[in-house]
Chain A
């Protein structure tokens, strides 16, 4: 039985280390990270640039493999997955929101979200896609191409695409990094709502203010987890955040 099931956690990391070998020497991006994330909560992974937070996210998302350690997510031992299993894991367990949106330029907003639903094998992907775009308040932009949308709208489409997969874990890498404050708050509110709706949302950011809306804050520094705790002063509504 994977340890996270025993503890009720949906994500569990045990002594996860990631080393990169470069011509200049070995860089330890993540050093013996151990972490347990309960289901249906919003976790903010906080840290300065180069602290290893994106590396952590990539390994939870099976975009990268750890050098050492064990990762379990939603009952699956990610570190044991190979080849097709990793693809299936990404299709059905986790989903991503990227800082640079990464929408498909040839597809409209609706089609981009449709892709997410289809990739995860959901039934009636067209209805799901439409519903998700309505949910992120883009019902009036269904047939617009990415280049016809603002940055905030593009990121909302990207979130809708991730949500359309129906996967239990949403991994967001600096989702507000390219957005202004107002739009950023809109996005965070969406993510908060998803966590409230039963998803587990991991947000990677260097913005300390964002950490205040989390249920749990994981702080990284120099590749090491230096703190795991709820935010001091309790969880705020995204509308209360200021930066």
Chain B
């Protein structure tokens, strides 16, 4: 028998089983598509970020005055160039100030503004922006009041391409929305001041306008620079750090290499951390789909085992016997791989859309991820071939008489036959049929249950992970914002004496019932080789307005630091342990980071690692006395949070005034990519569950064709037969769902214990699965297993009873 013969035979079989082959192939395609689509994000996200930085000429180095103190722009530029000694080829001075911004109709959207003043007269060649809507500003606007608004903020609040905003009470026109490399990541690192990250509006404006707004005519506080081609930014930064104190001894300027910038690090860091989470789910879904495809292919070939028996009886060599089933497997495999390409592309595009919504980079580089697709394709090829090889291998190892046994005589040969015999079930024989079918073929039933469980388990894991992160954020916010959340967090534009007029205007507002001031700063805590970034709130530790009530009750002594439980666990410290605190200290007119050994005074039950408190009395450690930069306010009864926010935002010296509850939006935004991808996974898993149930019902229909025909010949209605199928499917589905819930929880625990701590170290995610997640998983599973048997109704209606009944095995 030549190849043509086998191909012809196989082709006829394919035509008969086309729907089934396509459905199994679709399972493979979805599994490998998810694997390729989710597995490739870190590669193209990193490439896109690199390309964006290159296209917008992101700076190599940034020299800044940490206190925000402005120097004459020309002098600052000259100082940097002089200190660099020719290693810097281009440098531009900027004035960056924090001022409150209001946008939207009637200024209904308050935000913490970061106003970046650039010298338009000289042109912007470093950290250029990409106009996303509207138009840009240029040299002609150097002395005007037209500004540009950051695309993130505009998109988040659905603002038009152009419009009016107020900056510190002054109305200006924004003529376009833009993306700029330094502000690609709108979410500050969690180690930075969290209040500033809540709702931030970045505005790019002519430096002259910002100088007027900030009251610093001719001033600048920031220089961005490009280093000489071939030179290393790190080396030039070292050079500047050594030389600048000599050139500008009165001010402690900081030098940052872009790659070391916490915001840039956070951008690249989240790519790899999110990838770790995606990888887990990609592999889980691939495994579930692979197992299902293996099982279904095995059942298809198994249902044709009699053909193998006939061939064995005719003395056909085993190798030739395997050709037809293996060709079937090859057809499924090829179809799976072919469908996998668009599936992978589609899922990849979906992933891209989700990520674009969170981080709208101006440049996206999404090259063909050949390696990942190859892995998916290889798996797609291997799984059905293995699924086919197994029953062939089994069939050729038994006597031809056994292989020849028709399916309806093979079913009851299991040891469980005796159990079935003893089963005393209520109801008619047809009512008992579903359970008997399950028990009589335990291996098949078990495999189906396993396939359903493996497909559904990632759904519960994904839902559970979403629930857990939301619950964690809620707990964290209760710690930060208080259980009632009725506090306004105010950030000042700079350091103010705690009794200054500006501070008194804020705390003594007639709208305020209760107020407390503090000093917020960033820092890090080190113990051994472990370092944790923290956001330190220096406040009155006995005041429950500014610290969690449990901490306020402890009467913590000054002279130490209060850490979050997560930070304490990561550092391996407890109250009384000594840690090394890296914090800013005032030197001259600026600040320099220094290290001080301090004891851990207490541990606060916060899932946010960055949360840290010190007593306001300890501010001497920062080289300051009676200086504050933040306030917490509680409105008077009858005063709304909005009214208080509007009133406080308009006061001089206020950089931002935001309700404590708005922090949850920031945290949700941080996790939005993961959360949105879980939605994608839910859709894919629903489709997979349905495909598995459909295939299972279809194959079951083939296997039971004679049985169904006999029942119909005895006058049973089609709906009764479908009912039997539905009940059987539902019983298996319920078992599979039960198993999937257990498996899903186990995997969730593993993800939370092993994957999240590495991927999102700032959060101690609390395991919490809402009842609705269990219900949703069960509903998806039940819907799939209940609906699938209904799809064979038409087939039962159109079944040729004479030919099915007359077929002699």
Which residues of chain A have a CB within 8 Å of any CB of chain B?
54-55, 58, 61, 63-64, 84, 87-92, 95-96, 98-100, 102-108, 111, 114-116, 118-120, 143, 145-148, 165, 173, 177-178
A143 to B412, CA, bound (A): 13
Instruction: List the B side residues contacting A111 at CB < 8 Å.
Output: 429
Give the distance in Å from the alpha carbon of A120 to the alpha carbon of B437 in the complex.
22
Establish whether residues B715 and A100, one from each chain, have CB atoms under 8 Å apart when the complex forms: no
Query: Is the beta-carbon distance between B440 and A105 smaller than 8 angstroms?
Result: yes
Instruction: Verify B412–A145 contact, CB threshold 8 A.
Output: yes
Closest to A119 in B: B714
The answer to whether B412 and A63 touch across the interface, beta carbons within 8 angstroms, is no
> Which listed segment binds A: B281-289, B345-353, B366-374, B413-421?
B413-421
A57–chain B nearest beta-carbon distance, Å: 9
Checking B421, B428, B707, B714 against A143 with a beta-carbon cut-off of 8 angstroms, the contacting residue is B421
Q: Contact at B409–A147, with CB atoms within 8 Å?
A: yes
B409 near A100 with CB under 8 A, answer no
Cβ–Cβ contact A99 & B715, under 8 A: no
Residues of B within 8 A of A114 (CB): 429
CB contacts (< 8 Å) of B440 on chain A: these are 105-106
Question: Which residues from chain A contact B409 at a C-beta distance below 8 Å?
Answer: 105, 146-147
In the bound assembly, the distance between CA atoms of A103 and B711 in angstroms comes to 10
Q: Please tell me if B790 contacts chain A, counting CB pairs below 8 Å.
A: no
Considering only CB atoms, which chain B residue lies closest to A61 in the complex? B713
Q: Which 6 A-B pairs have the closest CB atoms?
A: A91-B715, A90-B715, A105-B411, A106-B436, A115-B429, A63-B801
By a CB distance below 8 angstroms, the chain B residues around A120 are: 714-715
Give 10 A-B contacts (CB < 8 Å), ordered by A residue. A90-B712, A96-B713, A100-B706, A100-B809, A106-B411, A106-B436, A114-B429, A115-B714, A116-B714, A178-B808
Contacts of B436 in A (CB 8 A): 106-107
**Chain B residues near A95 (CB-CB < 8 A):** 714
Q: Complex: how many Å from CA A87 to CA B430?
A: 16
Say if the beta carbon of B758 comes within 8 Å of chain A: no
Most buried by A among B410, B437, B709, B710: B710
In the assembled complex, which residues on chain A have CB atoms less than 8 Å from the CB atom of B408? 103-105, 146
Q: Is B806 an interface residue (CB 8 A)?
A: yes
Tell me if B375 counts as interface (CB < 8 A to partner A): no
Task: Confirm or deny: B7 has a beta carbon within 8 angstroms of a beta carbon on chain A.
Answer: no
Which residue of chain A is the closest to B406 with respect to CB atoms? A100
A108 surroundings in chain B (CB, below 8 A): 421
* Contact present for A63 and B808 (CB under 8 Å): no
Contact status A165-B808, CB under 8 Å: no
Interchain CA distance A125-B428 in the complex, whole Å: 10
Interface presence of B5 (CB below 8 A): no
Q: Which of A84, A104, A145 contacts B710 (CB 8 A)?
A: A104
Q: Is the CB of B807 within 8 A of A84?
A: no
Given A102-B706, A118-B429, A145 and B715 contact (CB-CB distance below 8 Å): no
Other-chain residue from B413, B706, B808 in contact with A147 (beta carbon distance below 8 A): B413
Complexed CA–CA distance, A210 and B127 (Å) = 100
Contacts of A107 in B (CB 8 A): 429, 436
Shortest distance from the beta carbon of B348 to any chain A beta carbon, whole Å = 44
B717 within 8 A of A: yes
User: A64–B801 contact, CB under 8 A?
Assistant: yes
| B704–chain A nearest beta-carbon distance, Å | 10
Given the known interface contacts A106-B437, A147-B409, the answer about A119 and B715 at a Cβ–Cβ threshold of 8 Å is yes
Q: A116-B714, A178-B808 are in contact. List 8 more A-B contacts (CB 8 A).
A: A54-B806, A61-B713, A102-B706, A105-B409, A105-B411, A106-B433, A118-B430, A177-B808
Chain A residues with Cβ below 8 Å from B229 are none
**Complex interface: chain B residues within 8 A of A116 (CB):** 714
A138 to chain B, nearest CB (A): 16
Contacts of B711 in A (CB 8 A): 119
Q: What residues of chain A lie closer than 8 Å to B801, measured between beta carbons?
A: 58, 63-64
| A100 proximity list for chain B (CB < 8 A) | 706, 805-809
Q: Does B250 contact A (CB under 8 A)?
A: no
| CB closest residue in chain A, given B805 | A98
Contact (Cβ within 8 A) B805 A106: no
Q: Judging by beta carbons under 8 Å apart, are B717 and A84 in contact? A: yes
B contacts, CB < 8 Å to A = 408-413, 417, 420-421, 428-430, 433, 436-437, 440, 706-707, 709-717, 801-802, 805-809
Given A105-B440, A111-B429: A145 and B717 within 8 A (CB)? no
Distance in Å: Cβ of A117 to nearest Cβ of chain B = 9
- How far apart are the CA atoms of A147 and B407 in the complex, in Å? 11
* B716 contact from A87, A105, A178, Cβ within 8 A: A87
Q: Is the interface of B mostly helix, strand, loop or mixed?
A: helix
Task: Give the most central of B409, B437, B801, B806: most A CB within 10 Å.
Answer: B806
How far, in whole Å, are A159 and B354 apart by their CA atoms in the complex? 65
How far in angstroms is the closest Cβ of chain A from B201?
Answer: 69
- Residues in B neighbouring A178, C-beta threshold 8 A: 808
Q: Which residues of B contact A104 (CB under 8 A)?
A: 408, 429, 433, 707, 710
B417 in contact with A145 (CB, 8 Å):
yes
Residues A119 and B716 in contact in the complex (CB < 8 Å), given A102-B706, A106-B412: yes
Q: What is the CB-to-nearest-CB distance from B798 to chain A, in angstroms, rounded to a whole number?
A: 13
| Distance from B425 Cβ to chain A, minimum over Cβ atoms (Å) | 10
Residues of A close to B713: CB separation below 8 A? 61, 63, 90, 96, 102
Quote the shortest CB–CB distance from A67 to chain B (angstroms): 14
Are the C-beta atoms of B806 and A92 separated by less than 8 Å?
no
Q: Which residue in chain B gives the minimum CB-CB distance to A96? A: B713
State whether B714 touches A165 (Cβ < 8 A). Answer: yes
Q: Which residues of B contact A91 (CB under 8 A)?
A: 714-716
Q: Which residue of A lies closest to B422 (CB)?
A: A143
**Chain A residue with the shortest CB-CB distance to B405:** A147
> How long is the Cα–Cα vector from A98 to B809 in the complex, in angstroms?
12
Interface centre among A116, A147, A177 (most CB of B within 10 A): A147
In the assembled complex, the Cα of A97 lies from the Cα of B413 at a distance in Å of: 24
Given that A84-B717, A87-B715, A118-B428 are contacting pairs, would A64 and B417 also be in contact in the complex, using a CB cutoff of 8 Å? Answer: no
Closest to B715 in A: A91
Closest chain B CB from A232 CB (angstroms): 30
Which chain A residues border B709 with CB–CB below 8 Å?
Answer: 102
Residues in A with CB closer than 8 Å to B417 are: 145
Contact status B806-A99, CB under 8 Å: yes
Closest to B706 in A: A102
Which residue of A has the minimal Cβ distance to B411?
Answer: A105
Q: How far, in whole Å, are A202 and B730 apart by their CA atoms in the complex?
A: 41
Chain B contacts of A64 at CB under 8 A?
801-802
Partner of A106, one of B420, B717, B808: B420
What's the minimum C-beta distance from B604 to chain A, rounded to whole angstroms? 63
Taking CB as reference atom, which chain A residue is nearest B797? Answer: A83
A111 vs B425: C-alpha distance when bound (angstroms): 12
CB-defined contacts of A103 to chain B, threshold 8 Å: 408
B421: which A residues are within 8 A, CB to CB?
108, 143, 145
CA distance A146 to B430 in the complex (A): 17
Q: For the complex formed, measure the closest distance between the CB of B208 and the CB atoms of chain A, giving whole angstroms.
A: 86
Please, how many angstroms separate the alpha-carbon atoms of A89 and B709 in the complex?
16
A89 contacts B802, C-beta separation under 8 Å: no
CA distance A87 to B712 in the complex (A): 7
A161 to chain B, nearest CB (A): 8
**CB-CB < 8 A to A58: which residues of B?**
801-802
Chain B: which residue is nearest A178 at the CB level?
B808
CB B314 to nearest CB in A, in angstroms, measures 21
- B802 x A90 contact (CB < 8 A): no
Question: Is A90 within 8 A of B429, CB to CB?
Answer: no
Residues of B within 8 A of A145 (CB): 412, 417, 420-421
Q: Which residue of A lies closest to B440 (CB)?
A: A106
Nearest residue (CB) in B for A88 is: B715
Taking the closest CB of chain A, its distance from the CB of B311, in whole angstroms, is 22
B715 touches A89 (CB 8 A): yes
Cα–Cα distance between A119 and B433 once the two chains are bound (Å) = 13
Query: What residues of chain A lie closer than 8 Å to B420, measured between beta carbons?
Result: 106, 145
Report A-chain residues with C-beta under 8 Å of the C-beta of B707.
102, 104-105
